[in-house]
Structure 1
Amino acid sequence: MAGFWGKRKREEQQELDARDADLAKRAGAALVAADERIRVTNDELGFAEAELGSDATRGLREALVAVRVHMGEAFRLNQLNYDHIPDTAEELRTRNARIVQLSEWAEDLLEQHTSALAERVARARRAPEIIAGVRGDIQLLRERIPQAREITDRLAKRYSAEALAQVGANPAEADQLLGFAEHSVGVAERRRESGQREQANLALEAATEAVRRAATLLDAVETFEVEALRAESTLAAIVEDSRGDIAVALKEPHSPAVADAIATLQAALQALPPAGVNTDPFTHLDRLREANAGLDAAIAAARARAARPIPPLEQVHHAIDDADRQLAVARDLIAGYRGWIGADARTRLAEAERIRLDLDHYLGTPAATVSVIDDDHREQAMGMARRAAYLAGEALQLAKRDIDASRPPGPGPGQWGGPGGYGQGWGGGRRSGGSDVMGGILGGLVIGSILDGFFDG
């Protein structure tokens, strides 16, 4: 009998573990779906306000504000699932259930408001004017493609292939997206002339989103050139700060944790390439940032807080500047590849943005503009800035992992299928990614079944 009850208990525990794993998976998927729905709805709100005015869209705007507040709670709960504090199964189960509840509530609320506006938006949309605007944008963006190619060629002479991986294919992908946009505009015009207004609107939405994605990709190339130079400058400052940190740490009482952290930071400094070698400043910044964070934690555990030196104001400013740069890069990548990014990267970015906002509140003014920080606040401000930069770096690495895992096999950047999630439009139900367009995935837009038969003539 004891063996029977023991076996039954094990089976019950296995069943409970399976349900918990399924709940965790549902929580992650629900978090991504709700976050993507917010982004898509925000885009749609812009269309609606332009066509109906702010009074008519007040309800949707207020719903978005409320949803963002509650989704902030969902992201914080998900972050707790990954912190260093061990959790019980019951705590994880409660958090994941709450994440699912908040995410589904957010989607339902936004669906209710967007559905109420869908018919009015469809009637008010000035399709001929939008078509003319899209054609004008396509022409302007095509003129930028040669310059973008010139920039990537110039960057390739200075930075490594790993550093350029996130923007190297952007000119080619933008060119493909603009070709798709031109074709979709033609489809919209023909469907509108034949009285098929709903299909025309769907095709026009696809064209508009393709133009937006192409502009984002070209902007990212230009931004990358500036951010790479900024990263090199920041890297030089962090190298100097790191050497100072090592000098300070060597004066600490002997501690194995501090010794290991010093060795890790010294190894990161020694791994820096010599002048004239194509490098990846972003990767080296990540390594130094992580090593610095490890050294900070080891020192904090080895001595009393009161004995810690007060960091110089310039060092605090470097940490804040690095956090802002890292956040900007992570935001651009996640916004540019919407449909491919999972909950982990989004959660890290949300937590980093929260800490960065808390830093502004802590200092009582935007940290990037503050010129004086008193001694009592410098250490805390620097710690918050470094933590925000570290989490943003994790978000960037996780986003790259998701992109690599989701990129479909095929001939490469020349095929249809630029990454990123596209909205399905008003009144079309909840958004999702996927489906085949002309042999590839166009940024997650479900267009294969909707526009089947559109591409005639």
Structure 2
Amino acid sequence: MRRVLTAVLGAAVVAGLVILGVIGTGVAEASPPLRAADQITDQADALGGEEAQVREALDQLRADEGTQLFVVFVSSFDGLDGQSWADQSAQQSQLGSRDVLFAVAVDDRVYGLSVDQDYPLSDEELSDLLVNDVEPQLSEQDWAGAAIALARGLDGGGSGSSGVPIALLLGGAVLAGGGYLVYRRRKQARTESGDSGRAPGQPRRSSSGEAHADPHADLPTQQLTFQASSALIDLDDAVQTSAQELTFAQGQFGDEAVTGFQEALAASRAELGQAFALRQQLDDEVPEAEPAQRRLLTEILRLCQSADQRLDAQSEAFDRLRDLDHTAPQVLEGLAPEVDRVQARLPQEEQRLTALQGRYAATALSAIADDVEQARALLDNARKELDEARAALQSPTPSAAVVSLRTAEDATAQADQLLDGIWRLETELAEAGAALIAARLETEKDLAEARALLTPGDSSGLASMVARAETALAAADAAVAATPEGLPDPLTALRQLTEADLALDGALGSAREARAQADQIERRLDQAMVTAQSSLAAAEDFITTRRGVVGSQARTRLAEGQRHLDRAVSLATTDPAGALREAQHADALGQQALHYARSDVDLGASNTGMGRGGYGNRGGMRGRGYGRGGGPDLG
């Protein structure tokens, strides 16, 4: 299994390159992960006339150390982060334990380094090499120099430096003075780094020299980030579990008996939403100064502790209500038929999924592709737990049945939720297909109006919006057309049309009367609501049923997406335009949540480290870097 380090130029460096005229305004040509057939792959023509010098360094490394270094230069990583791109390319190339892949997207300003878990250099040694030898060359756009520096460093000739402190935080670490993070799996051993020369326990000070009233002054910011992220994950899991427990209790005792628990859960869920909103603020593209970061992290911890304490305060009474130690036989008797009911759904939902796979593109069904398989596995586990509960009830320690019953309840509820997701997506795809007709007509109508309004030398941006809408129309037609090359994806097509038409509407806004514009936006709002609800529902199902390995990024996007969707609903009648923006934002966050959740699940399955970070100047950069994973050697 491979461990990967990635980097992204920080905002300050990018701003400097814009001033120097280095970064152009064109769109980079995207390259998907590839199979490296040669040790040098230069699709971006980055090496120019220096390929021979690079190859000489690679040959020398191979002769001295037995290491094959594969260097890949492309324009863009096709929307992937450097970690994913480098690791996928390494896997496609079937690299061995002594092989290294170094990938650079010269226009994206991103790089990734993929090495095997068993590669002889340590994380610290690789970190020193990248910080001291490779990144300075990348910052100067000396692509050949970066490859040569890496080869020489792996060959033992790098400048390096010793004692670079590493501080582990949520699954990773920040290199002191560096611009990237070294990520590892959650719950690995953690080491703390220094904090800008501040001794542990010494309070941070503002620029005026006054100490802040920081309740966590004894913790470095990285460790505080870890604690806040861990608290978010733990609370999200607790809320999800409590909701399932409450559902079973409602079915057993009725709503009146669990009113207090419902209120406590609702209040804790609200505080969880506030905490996720703060986490999103920390994760957005606008960086906060360290004092502001610490205040937000402290508030996240406060909210999580408050919500958790509220749930804990109810847990004893809740356990007395359910009293599984004494009611286990009755619960077992009622749970077995519930497992049978959900099990009986499997053939129908499997047929439904097969039919959907014959009608729609894989991209449209990616969120539910393995739902039947997952549901079946959950139900098998539930039956196993029921058998163990029966055996425990006949044993000298019948209380052991409680754990098995709770596990069986949870597995059954998750399986039912997964199967619900299949028919729900079927409905949403059908609704998207129907909405496409109206969406296309609206876009064509707007295009006709926009074309009529275009004048020679137009500087309003209308021409570019017309081009975008025309492209979206063509893409939507391709996405909904069943051809020998592919099946339709109505939700993607509807999303493309809605986004392009919204941009076109913006350019046409000054030419339309307010009422007509409001009517059109309201129609688009219905379309955006369909895609947003689908994205969030798919992400929620995915995260809820795999929450054991899903981290805070996916959960934060999901919580924020639901908040924006709720906001869209509340604005729908009073501010349709604002509601539309909220719905589209919710849709984007839902897609991001599913992306991050999938990455976390893949990480948990492969024990592959992940991250992304920056190269270039050290100032003002944040990111993630590389980590170790375990698993088979792909080479």
Q: TM-score, normalised by structure 1?
A: 0.72
Counterpart CA distance in 2 for 1:257 and 1:282 is 28
Query: Separation in 2 of the partners of 1:201 and 1:79?
Result: 38
Q: Which residue of 2 aligns with 1:284?
A: 493
Distance 1:74 1:409, change over 3 A: closer
- Deviation sequence 1:341-374 (CA, Å, 0-9, x none): 44334334434433443444446xxx6xxxxxxx
> 1:184 matched to which residue of 2?
385
Q: Secondary structure at the match of 1:194?
A: coil
Instruction: Identify which range, 21-30 or 172-181, moves more after superposition.
Output: 21-30
Tell me how far apart the structure 1 counterparts of residues 283 and 498 of structure 2 sit (CA, whole Å): 20
Paired residues for 1:414-425 under 5 Å: none
**1:73 alignment counterpart:** 274
User: Structure 1 residue 102 and structure 2 residue 303: aligned?
Assistant: yes
Residues 1:313 and 1:196: Cα distance change in structure 2 (over 3 Å) = farther
Unaligned 5+ runs, structure 1: 1-9, 368-376, 411-457
CA distance in 1, matches of 2:233, 2:431: 31
Q: Which runs of 5+ in 2 are unaligned?
A: 1-176, 178-193, 199-203, 205-218, 607-635
Change (3 A) 1:142 1:359: closer
Residues 268 and 314 of structure 1: CA distance in aligned 2, closer, same or farther (over 3 Å): closer
3-state SS of paired residue (1:165): helix
Q: Where do 1:186-335 residues align within 5 Å?
A: 186-248=387-449, 251=453, 254-255=458-459, 258-272=462-476, 273=478, 275-277=481-483, 278-295=487-504, 310-311=516-517, 313=519, 315-335=521-541
Distance in 1, Cα, partners of 2:264 & 2:447 = 50
| Residues 6-405 of structure 1 mapped to structure 2, 5 A cutoff | 13=196, 19-51=220-252, 57-82=258-283, 87-122=288-323, 126-248=327-449, 251=453, 254-255=458-459, 258-272=462-476, 273=478, 275-277=481-483, 278-295=487-504, 310-311=516-517, 313=519, 315-338=521-544, 339=547, 340-362=549-571, 377=574, 380-405=575-600
The structure with higher relative contact order (CA 8 Å, sep 6+) is: 2
- The 1-side partners of 2:576 and 2:538 are apart by 25
Distance 1:286 1:92, change over 3 A: farther
Residue 102 of structure 1 deviates from its aligned partner by: 0.7
Q: Percent identity?
A: 25
Q: Please state how far the C-alpha of 1:98 moved relative to its aligned partner.
A: 0.7
Closer, same or farther in 2 for the Cα pair 1:314/1:267, shift >3 Å? closer
TM alignment of 1:401-440, pairs within 5 A = 401-407=596-602, 408-409=604-605
Relative to structure 1, the CA distance from residue 81 to residue 183 in structure 2 (aligned partners, 3 Å threshold; closer, same or farther) is: same
Inter-partner Cα distance in structure 2 for 1:262 and 1:344: 36
Q: How far is the alpha carbon of 1:314 from its aligned partner?
A: 6.0
User: Is the Cα–Cα contact under 8 Å of residues 60 and 113 in structure 1 kept in the other structure?
Assistant: yes
Q: Displacement, 1:185?
A: 0.7
Q: What is the CA–CA distance in structure 2 between the aligned matches of 1:65 and 1:141, rounded to whole Å?
A: 27
- Name the residue aligned to 1:445: none
* CA radius of gyration, larger in: 2
What value does the CA root-mean-square deviation take over the aligned residues? Answer: 3.4
Partners of 1:345 and 1:396 within 8 A in 2:
no
Aligned residue in 2 for 1:372 = none
Quick check: which one's helix share is greater?
1
Shift of 1:31: 2.3
Task: Give the direction of change, closer, same or farther, for the CA distance of 1:168–1:54 in structure 2 (3 Å limit).
Answer: closer
Count of aligned residue pairs for this structure pair: 383
Q: Secondary structure at the match of 1:157?
A: helix
The 8 Å contact of residues 344 and 395 in structure 1, kept in 2 or not, is answered as no
